[in-house]
Structure formats: structure tokens, C-alpha cells
């Protein structure tokens, strides 16, 4: 062992620290290499060396690594015995030996020498308990572990009474909680499905016990019990977050209740922060369970918000840490405005920015949009469609900062209307062409045939201005239907508005019958097979009534949305400019074709087959 008389820098002996690091590295290397025998010898030798060093230098600090190494050597020897179920029972002799030696030191008022031995004893027992928990499926008699933990509880209670040291109650409470956890896991019938919430309830019980001690005017005894409640709550909370399921959510709710009892008992400001922390964890867990794909975007907001809240609640502790004259705290206290400008305003601004950012993220989550029951079909259609990885505002908010802010304000009014029960029964969500072109460049669609029903090739160039349609349609005039359980897809009847508008009983307005239909290759259609006239399909009484409805617009249709019939009702171009062609904003109301036009039906419409934008 390197001498402590070598050079020092400040209050630290870096040579001695290097010796500690090398000792730990040597033992770790042996354990990784599965050289258990040499590891035991080296660990025991290092422990003895540290004990000798502590005796020769009269510095109790060396007893910490000495006792830890000796305890580790003992546990390694116990591990070779192979009786896994009795590992905690085998740890009892070590705990008793260290506790007896520590008791002798305390009788001689050598507390600094007793503390390392007592901490090592508890660490060894807790290590064995955690080790057994991790290897639970291999245990045959888990009752032995419960018995050992109960004996450790009795030992700590006895030490607390013998030495009049309240912090032994902390160890007793932890051992009792572990025994309870073992009972929950290894009870007959298998572990309970509510194991985590039930274990979290142990922290609530400890918090209530601390409250009872404070009511009995025993605050000194209440503190270690409350610390044990915090330890159990912290362990259960981490396990709940790790589980990431509904059971974990229930455990977090119980933990929040524990923090509430602790605050009611101790009235410490730190518990308020823990309550808020638990509330944030509950929200985070809820998002993980119910929020699906877009929820992880909210976790950063939670984390930053909780950090800000922590700064606010721990600010008094920070001030006390800088209480010396001429310190940073004294500089802040030099006047009111420096504190406000340099601390208050930045924290307030950051908190406000985080709150706004979180609100934007939360309201952009499709789960939020689907919370209103009149949006149920739209949400389900989006969730199974090709755009399921794109949030609602990406398509339904026109580009631009002004439209984004306007959309959030309008969305807030919709929330109010929903809560007040004054919302409409039919939501109208419009999509501007500029939104579509963000991902689907118009030039990339021109000249690319989108197959429909595997044999019909459609080119978007047919919808460009100047193609004789009379209107310039928007993308969502065709890619709009959700009634069939699909979002932004094309339904077969959508094609009829171009092919059959105003042409009931006639040949098609765009293309011919053979554009979509193959001529049957049989004797009944010999003349049609050799003809180039489309009228052959509709003459001679063959297919003359296959189409019904001409898509006419009756003026009274205006009354479905407006209080009166518009004077321009008969002007197709003016009506299209108002309802589908004009540039849209978030407030634009999407109008379906059937809201104005009579329905057009053609043949027996089959099941919907989605039409892709750029391929199958």
C-alpha cells in the first residue's frame, strides 16, 4: 500500500486515491474473469491491509474500504456454498460481527470508527437481499429470506434501543419493506398483478407512521422513518417508470399520495416539489400508455418543466449555501431589482416558454384531437392510414406562423365549445394544397401514373389548370374520404364527378367506357370488340341506364349551411371559388361535393380500393 506521507495537493492525497482505484480495479478484473478463488484472496488481503493502515495511522477513514473489502471477501466465500435460499441467513453472522465491533467502539465514544462498520453491515445485507430478488426464479424456499429480513429488523431495533441512535430505525424500516416485498412476490399463487402499487403502499404506511410519531411529539424518531418512506417511494417510482404500464401508473399515484402525507406531517417545502415531480411522472406515464407515437415529443417538456419547478423550490437551500459575506447570495440581496432582473425574470420567462411549448406539443398530439367524440371516425381513419406518422397540424394548419397561431386560438375555442356542449356534429377539416406539396411536390406527380384497381392508370396532369375542367380542384377534393375507414384516400365514387357530371344516360365526359372497363371476350360482344365507337356500349338498350344522377345543384341546398339562398347559386365558377378554389386559411370550411351536388351513382360500386399518390 502506498504511503500517505507522499505529496498532497490541497486536502486530497491523490496517490492514496490512485491506490484505492487500483485495488478496486484488481478485484473487478478477477471477478469479470470468473477467478473467484484469487478474487477472494486479493479482496481479503486488501481489506486486511486497509485495517492495518487504519490502526497504524489512527485515521478511521481507512476503515471504510477495509470493512467493505473484508465483507466482500466473506460474501464471495458464502456464494461458493451454493445454498442460494440461505444467503441472507449466511449474511447474519457478518452483520452481527460488525455490529458487535461497532458497539464496542460506541461504548468508547469512537463513533467515527463505528460508522464504517455499521454502514458496511447494512450494505452487505441489502446487497444479498437485492441479489436474491434478482435471482428469485431460482429460489426454492424464499421463506428463508423473509425470516432473515425479519431478524435484521429485530437487530436494528435492538441497536436503536441499545445505542439510543435513531438512524437504526431507517435500516429497520428498509428491511421490513423488503420483507413485505418478498411476501408479495413469493406468496402462494404467484406474484400479484398489483405488486408495484402494493409495494408503493409500504412507503405510504411508513409516511403515516412518521406522521404518528410527530403527533406523539417524537420528531427525532419520525425523521428516519420518513427517510425510509422516501427511499421506498423512490425505488418503487423508478420501477414503475421502468415498467411503463398501467400498473406502474397506479404505483406512481400511490407514491404521490405518500409525498402528500409527508408534507402534511413535516411541512417541508421540498415535499411540495416531490409532489409536483410525482405528478409529472404520472403525466409522463399516462402519455406513454395512451399517447402512442407522438407522445415522446412531450417528455422533454416535462423534464424541463420539472427542473424549473425544482429550481424554484430549492432556491432557499441555494441561498443558505451562499450565506457567507460577499457571496453570490449577498450580491443578490444588495437590492430588489438585481434579484428580479437576474433571477426572477429569466426563471419566469423560461417557465412561461416551457408551458407554451408544452401546450403546443400537447394540442398537436393526434390523441388530443381524437379526444372529442365527434372526431372519433376521423381519428380512427388517420390512425390506420398512410399518414399515421404525421401529426394533424402538419396538414390541417396552412403554412405560415400567422396561420399556426390562428389555428391554436381557434383550437382553444373548439375545446371550449366541446366542454360547453355547443360543438357541431360534423367537423370540417380543410387541407391547403401548399401543405400537400410540402411532401408531395406537384412536379413529381406530373407524368407519373397512379394505378387504380391495378389496370386504370391515372395521371395528375389531368387536374392541372387549362385542362378544360372549368375549376381548379384542391388535393383534398379527391383525397378526402374517411367514411370507409381511410384517411386522405380516393373513393371510387369520387371519380364520377369528372366522368359523369351532367351526362346521365350518355357516354363519359372524360375518357370512354373502355378507359375503366375491359370488353368481355365472348360472342355477345363481338361488335363492340371491333368497334371504336363508345356509343356502342350505351345504345341498343345495353348500358343506357347504368348511371343515375347528374350531380345537379339545387338552390335550396344553400339552406343546409346558410340562412338564405345565395344570388350566385347558379354560377358554378363563383360557387367553386367560394367553396373549394379560393386560397384557404385555418378558418376555411371544407365543403364536400355532396353537400351541394346531387349524388352520382354508376353501376354497382364495389369496395374501396385506395388510390396511391405515386404508386401502389
How do residues 49-107 score in pLDDT, each as one tens digit?
A: 889 988 888 888 888 888 888 988 898 888 887 778 888 898 899 999 999 999 999 88
Asked whether residue 156 is domain-assigned, the answer is: no
- Cβ atoms of 547 and 505 within 8 Å: the answer is yes
256 has pLDDT over 70: yes
List, in sequence order, every residue forming a beta bridge with 21; answer none if it has no partner. none
Number of other CB atoms surrounding residue 149 within 10 Å: 25
Asked whether residue 128 is domain-assigned, the answer is: no
Distance CA 388, CA 373 (A): 19
Q: What is the pTM of this model?
A: 0.57
Asked whether residue 49 is domain-assigned, the answer is: no
343 has pLDDT over 70: no
Asked whether residue 441 is domain-assigned, the answer is: yes
Residue 98's nearest CA partner among 62, 124, 79, 60 is 124
Residue 170's nearest CA partner among 223, 245, 220 is 223
237 has pLDDT over 80: yes
User: Between residues 79 and 493, which one has the greater pLDDT?
Assistant: 79
Query: What band does 616 get if pLDDT is binned at 50, 70 and 90?
Result: very low
**Average pLDDT of 597-604?**
75
- Cβ atoms of 222 and 214 within 8 Å: the answer is yes
- Cβ atoms of 30 and 69 within 8 Å: the answer is no
Check residue 77 and give its pLDDT: 87
Asked whether residue 83 is domain-assigned, the answer is: no
User: Between residues 331 and 443, which one has the greater pLDDT?
Assistant: 443
Asked whether residue 457 is domain-assigned, the answer is: yes
Burial class (CB in 10 A: 0-12, 13-18, 19+), 569: middle
Chain centre distance of CA 351: 21
Computed over every residue of the chain, the mean pLDDT equals: 76
- Show the domain range for 413: 365-505+553-616
Query: What band does 436 get if pLDDT is binned at 50, 70 and 90?
Result: confident
**Average pLDDT of 574-594?**
68
Asked whether residue 494 is domain-assigned, the answer is: yes
Q: Any long-range contacts for 31-36 (C-beta under 8 Å, 24+ apart)?
A: 36/76, 36/79, 36/80
Asked whether residue 70 is domain-assigned, the answer is: no
- Cβ atoms of 427 and 378 within 8 Å: the answer is yes
- The tally of domains found in the chain comes to 1
Check residue 285 and give its pLDDT: 80
Amino acid at each position: 500500500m502506498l504511503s500517505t506521507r507522499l505529496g498532497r495537493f490541497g486536502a486530497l492525497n491523490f496517490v492514496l486515491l490512485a491506490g484505492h482505484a487500483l485495488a478496486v480495479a484488481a478485484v473487478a478484473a478477477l471477478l469479470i474473469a470468473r477467478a473467484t478463488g484469487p478474487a477472494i484472496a486479493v479482496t481479503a488481503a486488501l481489506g486486511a491491509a486497509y485495517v492495518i493502515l487504519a490502526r497504524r495511522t489512527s485515521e478511521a477513514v481507512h476503515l471504510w474500504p477495509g470493512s467493505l473489502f473484508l465483507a466482500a471477501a466473506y460474501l464471495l466465500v458464502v456464494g461458493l456454498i451454493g445454498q442460494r435460499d440461505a444467503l441472507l441467513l449466511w449474511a447474519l453472522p457478518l452483520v452481527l460481527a460488525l455490529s458487535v465491533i461497532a458497539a464496542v467502539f460506541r461504548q468508547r465514544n469512537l463513533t467515527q470508527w463505528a460508522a464504517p462498520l455499521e454502514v458496511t453491515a447494512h450494505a452487505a445485507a441489502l446487497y444479498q437481499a437485492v441479489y436474491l430478488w434478482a435471482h428469485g426464479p431460482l429460489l426454492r424456499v424464499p421463506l428463508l429470506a423473509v425470516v432473515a429480513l425479519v431478524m435484521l429488523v429485530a437487530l436494528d431495533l435492538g441497536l436503536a434501543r441499545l445505542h439510543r441512535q435513531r438512524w437504526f430505525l431507517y435500516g429497520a424500516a428498509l428491511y421490513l419493506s423488503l420483507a413485505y416485498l418478498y411476501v408479495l412476490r413469493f406468496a402462494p399463487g404467484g406474484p400479484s398483478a398489483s405488486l408495484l402499487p402494493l409495494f408503493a403502499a409500504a412507503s405510504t404506511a411508513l409516511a403515516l407512521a412518521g406522521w404518528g410519531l410527530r403527533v406523539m411529539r417524537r420528531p427525532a424518531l419520525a425523521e428516519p422513518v420518513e427517510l425510509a418512506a422516501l427511499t421506498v417511494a423512490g425505488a418503487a417510482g423508478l420501477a414503475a417508470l421502468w415498467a411503463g404500464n398501467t400498473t406502474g401508473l397506479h404505483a406512481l399515484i400511490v407514491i404521490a399520495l405518500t409525498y402528500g402525507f409527508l408534507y402534511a406531517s413535516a411541512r417541508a417545502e421540498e415535499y411540495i416539489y416531490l409532489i409536483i415531480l410525482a405528478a409529472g411522472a404520472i403525466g409522463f406515464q399516462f402519455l406513454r400508455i395512451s399517447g402512442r407515437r407522438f407522445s415522446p415529443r412531450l417528455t422533454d417538456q416535462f423534464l424541463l418543466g420539472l427542473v424549473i419547478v425544482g429550481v424554484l423550490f430549492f432556491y432557499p437551500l441555494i441561498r443558505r449555501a451562499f450565506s457567507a459575506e460577499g457571496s453570490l447570495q449577498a450580491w443578490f440581496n444588495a437590492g430588489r431589482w438585481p434579484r428580479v432582473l437576474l433571477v426572477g425574470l429569466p426563471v419566469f420567462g423560461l417557465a412561461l416558454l416551457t408551458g407554451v411549448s408544452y401546450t403546443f406539443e400537447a394540442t398537436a398530439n393526434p390523441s388530443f384531437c381524437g379526444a372529442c367524440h365527434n372526431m372519433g371516425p376521423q381519428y380512427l381513419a388517420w390512425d390506420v392510414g398512410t399518414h399515421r406518422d404525421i401529426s394533424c397540424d402538419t396538414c390541417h394548419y396552412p403554412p405560415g406562423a400567422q396561420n399556426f397561431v390562428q389555428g391554436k386560438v381557434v383550437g382553444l375555442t373548439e375545446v371550449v365549445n366541446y366542454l360547453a356542449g355547443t360543438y357541431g356534429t360534423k367537423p370540417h377539416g380543410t387541407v391547403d394544397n401548399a401543405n400537400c406539396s410540402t411532401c408531395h411536390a406537384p412536379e413529381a406527380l406530373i407524368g407519373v401514373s397512379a394505378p387504380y384497381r391495378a389496370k386504370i392508370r391515372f395521371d395528375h396532369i389531368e387536374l392541372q389548370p387549362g385542362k378544360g375542367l372549368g375549376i381548379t380542384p384542391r388535393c383534398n377534393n379527391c383525397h378526402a374520404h374517411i367514411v370507409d375507414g381511410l384517411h386522405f384516400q380516393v373513393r371510387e365514387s369520387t371519380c364520377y364527378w369528372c366522368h359523369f357530371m351532367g351526362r346521365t344516360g350518355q357516354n363519359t365526359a372524360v375518357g370512354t367506357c373502355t378507359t375503366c372497363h375491359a370488353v368481355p371476350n365472348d360472342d355477345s360482344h363481338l361488335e363492340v370488340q371491333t368497334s371504336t365507337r363508345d356509343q356502342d356500349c350505351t345504345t341498343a338498350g345495353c348500358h343506357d341506364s347504368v348511371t343515375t344522377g347528374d350531380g345537379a345543384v339545387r338552390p335550396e341546398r344553400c339552406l343546409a349551411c346558410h340562412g338564405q339562398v345565395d344570388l350566385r347559386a347558379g354560377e358554378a365558377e363563383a360557387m367553386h371559388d367560394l367553396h373549394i378554389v379560393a386560397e384557404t386559411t385555418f378558418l376555411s370550411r371544407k365543403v364536400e361535393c355532396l353537400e351541394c351536388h346531387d349524388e352520382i351513382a354508376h353501376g354497382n360500386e364495389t369496395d374501396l380500393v385506395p388510390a396511391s399518390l405515386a404508386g401502389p
